[in-house]
Amino acid sequence: MLRITRMLTAFAAGAILSLCGLFMQALVRNPLADPYLLGASSGAGLGVVLITTGLIPFMLFQSIWFIPLIAFVGSCISLFIVLVLGQIRKDAETYRLLIAGIAVSSFFTALTGLVLYKFAAADSLRNVMFWTLGSFQRSSFESAMTGLVGIIVALLFGWTQGRTLDVLSLGGRHAYSLGLNTPVFRIWILLITAFCTGSITAFTGPVGFVGLMIPHFSRGFVGANHRKNTTVSAALGGVYLVGCDTIGRLMLPPAGLPIGIITALLGIPFFIFLLLRKPKSKI
């Protein structure tokens, strides 16, 4: 049963991160974008740390949804600040979002460090350190169910809004000229990303490079159509992360290496490749 829940959690995390990466790349029109770009993971991380250190008493809320709910709230708070600082308007440039996201992410990371330094016990520090590296070792029925909900939400958004994402990827001004209410739709993308990324990150920790890499492979198979990419990205991302987890467990049985180490070792060469190649076209 433990292996099944671990596999389901890994698949769900890979699918969610891939889909959110696809949405974020359409939003900012940048091939290096990923679900963590605008500070969603740092906000979720702060929420998890507040629970781990006891500043938010988990025992008062005996619900399987409490941890992902707090992570989602943290993600929403960070993204709300990004929205305010980025001044999202129909004529706003996406670089404002990127700069605001970097600043907010750094702020929440610093705040997390302050909470750990002041309030965390030794065992809490170990748990948080293990969480920051990314791991499926503590997978459970709750994490698998949360991942299933996240996949359903992300898939429904991608399938129903695929054509709108195609229009948005042309650029904010072009999309607005074609009748798209770009500020509202951008907010919807950020909310979906915050919910899905924050909820699964609460259980697995931040897992890097999945949301950056997989949408590129998906577009290589089916082109730029976002509705098709929704299905393909979810499937590729889920299989990829299950494979990475298998590699980690084979390298260091039985618990395995933290999944974030494996994805970083595989993702960094791809990241460098994207930086060095000459862009042929915009997303």
Looking up tokens 């170990």 gives: 126
DSSP calls for 125-194: HHHHHHHHT---TT--HHHHHHHHHHHHHHHHHHHHSHHHHHHHTT-HHHHHHTT--HHHHHHHHHHHHH
Residue 282 lies in a domain: no
Residue span of the structural domain in which 132 resides: 2-275
Model pLDDT for residues 4-32, shown as the tens digit of each residue: 999 999 999 999 999 999 999 998 888 88
pLDDT at 33: 84
pLDDT at 210: 94
State CA 28 to chain mean position distance. 15
Domains held by the chain: number: 1
The CATH number for 246's domain is 1.10.3470.10
Residue 178 has pLDDT above 70, yes or no: yes
Reduced to 3 states (helix: H, G, I; strand: E, B; else coil), residue 108 is: helix
Model pLDDT for residues 234-262, shown as the tens digit of each residue: 999 999 999 999 998 888 877 678 898 89
Model pLDDT for residues 28-69, shown as the tens digit of each residue: 888 888 888 888 888 888 888 888 787 777 655 556 677 778
Residue 283 lies in a domain: no
C-beta separation of 14 from 154 below 8 A: no
Residue 149 has pLDDT above 60, yes or no: yes
Residue 281 lies in a domain: no
Residue 280 lies in a domain: no
Looking from the CA of 188 toward its CB, the CA atoms found within 13 Å total 17
